[in-house]
Amino acid sequence: MSQSATLQRVQAVDFYGRLEEEVRGHRNGTALLFLYCAGDPSGTDAELTEVQSFVDQLSGVNSEVLRDVSTGVLALTLPGYTLDAAHYQALLLKQHLQGRLEQSDPRITLAALTETPSTQTMKQMAEAARLSTSSDIHIFTQEEADRDQSRILIVDQDATVREFLQIRLAMQGYETLEAVDGLEALDLIPKWEPDLVLTELNLHGIDGLPFIHHIQQLKVKEPPKIVVLTEKRVEQTISQCFQNGVDDYVTKPFSPVELDARIRRCLH
């Protein structure tokens, strides 16, 4: 039985810094697993205990279990594990938690690493687990890690929507900025030059198709992609948006996973 060390996080400790040290210490590579129990988002001691109990059963593995108390996310290192071997253990861990803690509803993101990932990449992995709407184990790819080069301007007069989108997109690696109306957005685009504008059509000042038209007329090096995220479901409005150069159109309420895919398709 391994002598795994459990470091219970306190707010003052740099969770990602400690995790980076742990990964760097394994020269032959390691698998990195992030776990979030969606059924109990508070991140209880019971979950930490059960994960540690599972890890202690892994023969010859000096694994580390860390917890970020600010989000409830658990991180687990599996030194020397290939992706296939780590995926198998992730399935067993998921079954273990579901058997011991019926309300846990575990969400897992997994990657096999040969080099130490950046803090941003680890944050992306953690948020991929925390924001997941699927119980399937998510294999984190290099493509996802490379998304931090893309800028997205969020335009919506609803502060709650802006906050949700900002958190989800930023923690996936996108650089984000917010605008509360069309006039502010038109002022920000030439200065910040986003790769994509994610916008509502119902805006103060200037909105709808005139707003889309003004975006396309701005003097910028590279016109941004435009994804409409709106409550408007009228077929004529949707058709007119596509005729006027909009790259995609998503209606509210929306699936975050589907929106992720639409944005990824526009940017890559």
Task: List, for residues 156-196, the tens digit of each pLDDT value.
Answer: 999 999 999 998 898 777 889 999 999 999 999 999 899 99
Residue, of 27 and 81, whose pLDDT is higher:
81
**What's the rounded Cα separation, in Å, for the pair 253 and 229?**
9
pLDDT in tens, 141-153: 877 766 556 899 9
Contact 16, 119 (CB under 8 A): yes
Question: Vertex 205, ends 202 and 211: CA angle to 5°?
Answer: 65
- Of 12-21, 35-44, 125-134, 215-224, where does the model show the most confidence? 215-224
Let me know: does 248 contact 228? Beta carbons within 8 Å. yes
Q: What's the order of all strands across the beta sheet hosting 73-79?
A: 5-7, 64-68, 73-79, 30-37, 106-113, 138-139
**Average of per-residue pLDDT across 209-236:** 93
Least Cα distance to 172 among 133, 135, 126, 134 occurs for 126
Residue 87 contacts by C-beta under 8 Å, 6 or more apart in sequence?
110, 137, 139
pLDDT grade for 64, boundaries at 50, 70 and 90: confident
What average pLDDT does the chain have? 86
pLDDT at 30 over 80: yes
CA torsion angle 258 262 263 268 (round to 10): 130
Angular region, 23: left φ>0, alpha ψ -120 to 50, beta rest: alpha
**Residue with more model confidence, 7 or 46:** 46
pLDDT, residue 119, reads: 79
Report the alpha-carbon distance of residue 237 to residue 243 in Å, rounded: 10
Residue 90 has pLDDT above 90, yes or no: yes
Q: Which of 75-79, 113-117, 140-144 has the highest mean pLDDT?
A: 75-79
Is the distance from CB of 180 to CB of 201 less than 8 angstroms?
no
* Domains of the chain, earliest start first: 5-145 (3.30.70.270), 150-267 (3.40.50.2300)
Higher pLDDT, 172 or 230: 230
